[in-house]
Structure 1
Amino acid sequence: MEGKEKIFSDDKEKAINKVLESAARNMETKSAYHHEIVWRNVILMTLLHIMALYSVVLIPQAQILTLLWAYLCFLVTALSVTAGAHRLWSHRSYKATLTLRIFLAIANSMAFQNDIFEWARDHRVHHKFSETDADPHDARRGLFFSHIGWLFVRKHKAVIEKGKTVDFQDLLSDQVVMFQRKYYITSVALMCFLIPTVVPWYFWGESLWNSYFLATILRYTISLNVSWLVNSVAHLYGNRPYDKTINPRENRFVSLAAIGEGFHNFHHAFPYDYSASEFGLRMNPTTWFIDFMCFLRLASDCKKATRQMILTRKEKSGDGSY
């Protein structure tokens, strides 16, 4: 009996030591990384959101055409990201003609969320290394970090190191992407700030003050936060009917706000699907747009997960919510 008790005691001591060593390694890893704050981004984003809050006060005194114009600019901005930078260039989930690619690239400069190459590059890294140190907006670090905080700090070294292992040759060989990248600052000044501001003033006599704060500042701030919802809320809140082993969730609020990008558990399970959703057109204006472009023969070869593939994935790894 004494021999057995000694063995059990030794095993228990080894287990405790293993736990302590693991905890020590975790503490060492956490303490080894310190956020290096990019104060320029903090100041600029703070000022932008303060101006956006002020813009709300101007809404009652603005002309209805100005508000409609601001909303139209928002839709163009959103589609340039969801249908362009995301589904076309990041995932190659469908093919687009030169005409459509040029339109989406021009519209993407209105979005001002980094040029197409940089956006798609970071997004591919996000998918390949989701919820790890190599994820640019790692949701494990909390809602604030995954929403906007990741823009306030230097990228984790793992993002840069792991990013070098991802293939971006198709982006580098895309002349539209490279042209937009080359002239990005000029195109942003024109598309994100000048045109949205000048159109209401020139065509229906809106004041430049209202035009700038509503069609440019408020529209831009809202579009940024809508895009960030996919990184934050859709990674933390919702169900996981396709794969419960990954963090991205199905979130209908995000789908409504981000014109179809909130079916995020599906999207990470089937990233090549052009609809980014099992449900096709439902709650998915981006899919409507791509389908319409197919009707006009400006888009083609839309990739889609088959019904059997979806059912198999649900049964194998889903959380049972569907």
Structure 2
Amino acid sequence: MPGRAADRGQVPLCSAAAAEEESRAGAEGSAGGGGAPERQTIVWRNVVLMSLLHLAAAYSLVLIPKAQPLTLLWAYFCFLLTALGVTAGAHRLWSHRSYKAKLPLRIFLAAANSMAFQNDIFEWSRDHRVHHKYSETDADPHNARRGFFFSHVGWLFVRKHRDVIEKGRTLDVTDLLADPVVRFQRKYYKISVVLMCFMVPTLVPWYLWGESLWNSYFLASILRYAISLNVTWLVNSAAHMYGNRPYDKHISPRQNPLVTLGAIGEGFHNYHHTFPFDYSTSEFGLNFNPTTWFIDAMCWLGLATDRKRATKPMIEARKARTGDGSA
């Protein structure tokens, strides 16, 4: 759920973020019914940058036949690292506290999260908590009731609705601020993004196996980044609109197998919004859920602990009470 990269160098974090976002909210209305605000201020810089990124990604496709196979494998490996920085890191660890991670794992996930370039851990996690608490209202940063385009990418093209900011201030984020890894990444976010999102993916193929800098940059940085953004956005858009609702038919999020494939386990979205504390975000555990595989492996290595799970009786009772009757 990326947004623009802002200057993260000021402390305290809460007050700095609140002041910045208050100015970004502009003069938007604050109707809380989930409809579109009366007035939208377009952030033209984001429109231009995202357009250029996707044009560059489209151009990158013509370079695929010209690149070395190792470069394509490296680009996919960087995609997986990028995804883990969001799914296992900002989402399941920091947003939901669904498991605990020791310092080396938190450092790794923070570096991978910078490779993702989807806002720093603090802002990503805070906005995601708002998304869960006020889902499909004006306080939801990517409210799916405003349509597929808005929930996918359009929310980045307009200033945040004032309700997002006001409701965000009411959430307890002291756990995020207490983590030195989160504070460090936020303070040095711009530097970490330049290094992890662009320099490392570009320089490794050039240095290790002689790939051209041109191919490395467009394939391992630009194309990989654009694909990872859209995969994440599909969780906000497609997984809130298309699929079944076996756990709670009264909420918008759905079970979407295609999103699950792309987002390495994040498409079991009706389950996730019903049991947001579950570290696996799915009833089915290891059933194509690479993020769950990763967290389980980290537990086996002693780097993660205290995985939270919804119990089978709890799941079955909820299905019977609020599910749509689908499998």
* Superposition TM-score, scaled by structure 1 size: 0.90
Cα distance in 2 between the residues matched to 1:101 and 1:84? 8
- The question of whether the paired residues in 1 share the 8 Å contact of 2:152 and 2:234 is answered with yes
How far did 1:257 drift?
Answer: 0.5
SS at match of 1:238: coil
- Report how many residues are paired: 296
Cα distance in 1 between the residues matched to 2:147 and 2:312? 34
1:5 match: none
Q: Deviations for 1:105-151, whole angstroms, at most 9, x for unmatched residues? A: 01111000000000001100000000001000000000000000000
How far did 1:31 drift?
Answer: 8.0
Structure 1 residue 301 corresponds to structure 2 residue 306: yes
Identity %: 74
Cα distance in 1 between the residues matched to 2:112 and 2:280? 20
Structure 1 residue 61 corresponds to structure 2 residue 60: no
Distance 1:134-1:31 versus aligned 2 partners, 3 A rule = closer
Structure 1 residue 42 corresponds to structure 2 residue 47: yes
1:132 match: 137
Partner amino acid for 1:94? Y
Q: Which runs of 5+ in 1 are unaligned?
A: 1-25
How far did 1:165 drift?
Answer: 1.2
Partner amino acid for 2:41? E
2:14 match: none
Distance 1:258-1:29 versus aligned 2 partners, 3 A rule = closer
Q: Which runs of 5+ in 2 are unaligned?
A: 1-30
Q: Deviations for 1:6-65, whole angstroms, at most 9, x for unmatched residues? A: xxxxxxxxxxxxxxxxxxxx9x99686211100000000000000000000000000000
Superposed CA RMSD:
1.3
2:213 match: 208
Whose helix fraction is larger, Structure 1's or Structure 2's?
Answer: 1
Moved over 4 A (4+): 28-32
Partner amino acid for 2:219? L
Distance 1:31-1:84 versus aligned 2 partners, 3 A rule = closer
1:184 match: 189
SS at match of 1:99: helix
Q: Rg larger in 1 or in 2?
A: 1
2:10 match: none
**Aligned ranges for residues 147-162 of structure 1 at < 5 Å?**
147-162=152-167
- The question of whether the paired residues in 1 share the 8 Å contact of 2:238 and 2:259 is answered with yes
Cα distance in 2 between the residues matched to 1:98 and 1:156? 35
Distance 1:42-1:281 versus aligned 2 partners, 3 A rule = same
How far did 1:283 drift?
Answer: 1.3
* Superposition TM-score, scaled by structure 2 size: 0.89
